[in-house]
Structures are given as C-alpha cells and as structure tokens.
Structure 1
C-alpha cells in the first residue's frame, strides 16, 4: 500500500514538475517575443514616426511685442544629427518584455491541453496581442515624443534641386530614411502583430528542433 501511494505521489509530482516547466517556458517565450517586438518598435519609432525638425544653430529673436521668431533663406536643408537611439533602445524592449510576460501569464489561465489545436490557438492569439499591444504603445509614445532631427539650412549657389526637393519642402538631405506609416495607431499594431507572429513561429520551430 505504501509503495503504491509513493508511486502515485511521484507520478503526481512529475506531472506538476512538467506543468511548471511548460509554464516557465511559455512565459519566457512570450517575454522574448515582446523583447524582439520592442526592438522592432524602436526602429518603427525612429524611421516611421512623424519627425520633429529642430533648426541647428539658430535661436528665436523677439520681432514684435511678445512674439519671437526669425527668417532665413536656404537652398536646401542638411541633416546634422538624429533621431536619437537612446533611451528608446533600452526602454521599449523592456516594455515589450513586460507586455510579453503579462500575456504569458494570462495565457496560462486559459484551459488547454498539453498539445493540440487549442494550445496552438492560445499561443498564436497571445503572440498577436503582444505585438499589437507593443505597436499601440509605441504609436501613442510617438505622439508624445516625436523623433527629433537636427537640421541646418544651407545656401549653395551651385545647388540644383531634384524632383524630390521641388516636390517636398520638408526634404532633408542626409537624413535617415523615413517611411510614412500614418495613421500610426492603425499600422503600428498591425505590423507589431505580424512581427510577433513571425518571432513566435521561429521560437516554436527552434523548440521542436531541440526536442526532436
């Protein structure tokens, strides 16, 4: 009787241990997914968010009463520096880890077997929510903190404007590439969800390769 009871306890302990291992693995995978999407969010903030142009080397002067400003002429605008990488390169991936960990914990609440379509569905939905949530966060952040680009007006009599220069007064020579993804509140979550799904598929493929 005691031997049977000990065997049952060992089996139960083994099942609990396996369940805890799977739970830790799922939370870790979700957190890693959030971190990668957070890194993608940094790139989206820097290259696809509306930019703030800061005139380098000029200061506003009082022109009438309490108004201030200045006038200048230029042939083209030259990029001096920016947009910055920090602290966004540190903060956004950490936010992604937090979102991923929370979603990983939430997914554990959903009853699902060890394997099967329900488990796969839970993982897919979790990844999509992680990506969409991170995309929404960076879209809202970009509305409050626009990537700043330091520019300098340049006078050059030999300058010959291109079609881009003529078609856009905001064209800045030497600036990092810019991808217009407005409205950000729509496209950032969609792209984030897509990135998260790709990351989760890669992680699941690696896990299966290790186990086989």
Structure 2
C-alpha cells in the first residue's frame, strides 16, 4: 500500500502519536486506544512478531552483526549509537508527568502496519476492502486489454492502481492543508511551539478549574440552592 494512503488509513482507524526525532510511532498509545494495552507486550514478544522482526533485520540490515530479533528491542532509548540496531524502543525515563502521554514503546514506522492490524479490526477490514477494490480494477483492466491473468501481467496494473490511489490521497491532503498547514500528519517548528503553548495553557486552566471546584465543594448543598 502506498505510504501516504497507509498513513491516512491508519489515522482514520486509530489515533497515532509520532516522535519528531525519528518518526517512530507510539505503539503503547495505539494499543491503549484499541483497549489492548495489557496485551501489547505479549504481542511484541510473540513468535509472529519475532518472525517479522527477523525479516526486517535481514531486509534492511540495520541490526548489528550477529544480533537477534530480541536484541532489536531496546529497553530504553538513551544514546543514538546504541539505537542503530533497534526497530522498537521504550521511552519512560526523564519524561515528566505533564507529558506522560508520550511515554511508551515506539516502533519503526515501517512496522506500524502490523501493529495497526493487530490493534484494530476496523483497519484490517479497511485494508481488505482496498485490496479487493484494487484486485477488481486489475482484473477489469486485464479483461479490457484481453491479457492473460498472470502475475507478470497483473503486477504493473496493480502498481498503477496503487499510484493512482497515492496521487488522489496526496491531492486530498493538499486540499485539507491549503492555507492552513503543510501536512495533516506532522507539525512544523512553529506549529509545534503553538501546540505546546496551548497545551500548557490548557494544563494551567485545568489546575485552576480543579481548585475552583474544591472551593465550591466546601459550600456543599448551598451551591445547588443559591447558584443553580
């Protein structure tokens, strides 16, 4: 599936949190949103996930020589030099409670599809529908051009349909972002600063509201009698 289309589809089915430093995705948040937080570690350590990690290590050659899929999981991201062989890592130490939502296990964005399929049945169904739609268009094209239904003939038509989907998605993103922001998936430096400022304002307002509620509670039943 095209990268832009996959990002959009995942975002529609399940909320994601992306780390600015490296683009890694917070799998803990995805699992929490799907109500599967207690099962995340079991999934990440499952035989199936280890098989996937072995594939990625062999395919991309990022793991250190002689390392295994278990070593592809870093317990804590601290030093970039110690991170080169990792497709997954945890971020907990040094994260203040004010932004505790960023804590958790982060995965390589190229692995997020597997996390999404595990976490969200809605995503699995959506992917299946897209593949069925592409398959239908490919076979219509084969019939139209009177081509034999073979892998050699179907592959370029499949890639063509995927490119069309990607182009439509990019155009849709441009329409959404026109005059507003560069990307629906990422914030630039200025937008990040605006977001952080507004988040701090929200936190302060929440603290002030909690303090006001405590004061009102001290008045007990008089609040309902004289104010409501």
TM-score (norm 1): 0.27
TM-score (norm 2): 0.25
Between structures 1 and 2, the one with greater helix share: 2
Between structures 1 and 2, the one with greater strand share: 1
